[in-house]
Structure 1
């Protein structure tokens, strides 16, 4: 185990009152215990009426049972303990959220999600200037993300993911099959470095000028060569004699053919 891992509850249990009419009192008691020991993370699931606690091990169940009886006068049993898992992502993805009802405002957000090293937790950053989304609203976005990540698609807390609130430019990079390599932002400007294929970005300077209203600055340079899809679009007819045609190639090399090797 890593240092500090013992402070993380390993099991989840259902707390079941012996008398159904004491469900509310049992929930209030568990909430009190959870406020005293936040690791218990008491939860009341309204859709099922279940009361859940997170514990370190089965020995703690007996301690809780005795505490509920002696301190609160409540008799309870526990469902079978279940291991607490975590969710994460395997590959980079784009998240999109839109609220278009203008009561009182509307918003469209896009996030870039990337896998992070195991045990690193969740990190969040924004590359959207303060003039596009005011800082107080960006802070609300960050708070909402924390709540959203408390339960993923499989029902568990999401961990080990890097989340970036992106703007239009990063979306363009992704559409050009590019890769963002570095970002930095303050309240006025955003600086972004990316690698994009030349084939899909030749016309982008014009589009960039339109998106930024002529206020953006774009510079490009050859970075190197990468693999590309193997299709006829990326091939070029050979010039000269094909060296696989050995006889003709030798004749051409000896200037016995009018056609040159290259």
Structure 2
């Protein structure tokens, strides 16, 4: 008997597009569900959590297994609300294919485009399902045009394959077009390859709620999806951490090569206990998971989303932009901290920070809905009724010029010196680390210590003490002592080098403050356009020309999160509930009021002793501090690295 064709597919969509309803319908039509549940009834198979039932939205990713006679799809349902986009992104790292659901009544929204860009970032081929085609006044041709305009030209209707279809497919590749013109044939395998390479994207149509077009969609995926090839060497990627009802910590992973066996030591001193094969909330314990399987394992305590085993780690591109302080009320603050640390284990983007001195807990989030859900989780799971105090915007800093930086650490019987090249990076690229140091200059072991130190720390800027971003930091040289250099010395020198370079750039006015910006879509009654445009200008936003859709007008643009984060309530108020604002985090851009923010923060980088820019040198048998501006001279600087 031939093995089933197996793929892993994740369903992604804007909230209320019908993503979970489609998942439910696919499982029902395939015969894997006896009863068709509904999100609004709170009995959906893939929304089992109490909070999901109450809210009517998907908050956590869930796994289901769809199986036909010759085909098996491991189906991963993901959150639809933009506040939980980072959890959605974590799932993308293990997908063979994505299913993008678009509501026929809403079309391509801002968040749809965000999801599309994420799929592009991860190189995931995609099947598109246009849902709610049973709604009145739906125009199929207009929907296709909307998708092709806002997502990609090569999104083609696969529900009606005819000569026009093959002609459209042939135009995406010159060799394929020449072949088609010569013999009039495009094979199924060629179409499969085009889909797998993200050259074309199939579109299907239907109504998940009424089970229309669902069987055709399943058949389409079964026909056109290719099975991934895996190596014999074991590899895996972790995409989720959760806890079961008994408190067992679950590490969710996909096997990307070889086999995973129970009772093996996957990491030093960490042995896998159970391997669980989940289908909804039910699971069976298995002894071996093969390549392509998605499973949850118990027994591991140090794993994290995005972690690779014999493959590279993957870091989320979507980051929180707001920070809040926890108000514990009558609860013990340490009990709140313990609970939040568990939740941070599941979602590292919360970035829980504890100040022993202030007895305060701070956390980072994407938006208000996530905060409300977090409050409910603390109440239901941990019996903690807490509130959150209005937080602040998460600013970041970057540089506009390159510089050679140096850090020196030489207290008595210690010695290390690190030379770095700091350069501006691309917008929203984060911090990139590279090594361009010769082994003739510095031993490999010391280079490894420097690179480990650089990558393990969140480096802060010198304008407000905010994290740096959009920078490239390259190791270009250093010095060690055969007698006095010991472990940890280069960590101190490297941290000081980063800060020393930033201080040099500050006096050159080559440091700048960044703030998060929203991409927004505002839909309002036509009579309110003047008010809206004035508001956007007041918020230092930018916008395209308003589009008139009859009774309503659509305004698309960008604005600082700090100005627009509470604007949705204003819109509902002045439009009497008829207006709608959708905001998606666009990334970090120049801060619109940087002078004001810098003055308010009143940050003194030299007084920040944990991130000092100064160095330590030794003379007359004792270590002494040399201020950052004198370090290049004391270190016999420059290091002769070409800056041009």
| 1:232 match | none
TM-score scaled by structure 1? 0.59
Q: In 1, Cα distance between the equivalents of 2:334 and 2:421?
A: 42
| 2:329 match | 18
Aligned length: 175
**Selected match of 2:449 from 130, 140, 144:** 140
Q: In 1, Cα distance between the equivalents of 2:394 and 2:474?
A: 27
Deviates more, 1:162-171 or 1:90-99: 162-171
Q: Is 1:101 aligned to residue 411 of structure 2?
A: yes
Retained in 2: the 8 A contact 1:95–1:111? yes
**Selected match of 1:151 from 439, 460, 465:** 460
Where 1:112 maps in the other structure, the secondary structure is: strand
1:47-126 equivalences under 5 Å are 47-103=357-413, 105-126=414-435
TM-superposed CA distance for 1:32, in Å, is: 0.3
Q: In 1, Cα distance between the equivalents of 2:367 and 2:317?
A: 11
Task: Choose between structure 1 and 2: higher strand proportion.
Answer: 2
TM-score scaled by structure 2? 0.25
Q: In 2, Cα distance between the equivalents of 1:100 and 1:38?
A: 36
| 1:130 match | 439
Q: In 1, Cα distance between the equivalents of 2:418 and 2:318?
A: 35
| 1:171 match | 638
| Runs of 5+ unmatched residues, structure 2 | 1-109, 119-315, 479-635
Retained in 2: the 8 A contact 1:170–1:180? no
TM-superposed CA distance for 1:24, in Å, is: 0.9
Q: In 1, Cα distance between the equivalents of 2:362 and 2:400?
A: 29
Q: In 2, Cα distance between the equivalents of 1:172 and 1:140?
A: 20
Where 2:433 maps in the other structure, the secondary structure is: strand
Where 1:166 maps in the other structure, the secondary structure is: strand
Q: In 1, Cα distance between the equivalents of 2:357 and 2:366?
A: 26
TM-superposed CA distance for 1:36, in Å, is: 0.8
TM-superposed CA distance for 1:151, in Å, is: 2.7
TM-superposed CA distance for 1:148, in Å, is: 4.1
TM-superposed CA distance for 1:35, in Å, is: 0.3
- 1:7–1:126 CA distance, 2 compared to 1 (3 A): closer
Deviates more, 1:140-149 or 1:53-62: 140-149
Of the two, which has the highest radius of gyration? 1
Retained in 1: the 8 A contact 2:433–2:472? yes
Q: In 1, Cα distance between the equivalents of 2:437 and 2:412?
A: 22
- Provide Cα deviations, 1:62-93, integer angstroms capped at 9, x if missing partner: 11111111211222111113222221112122
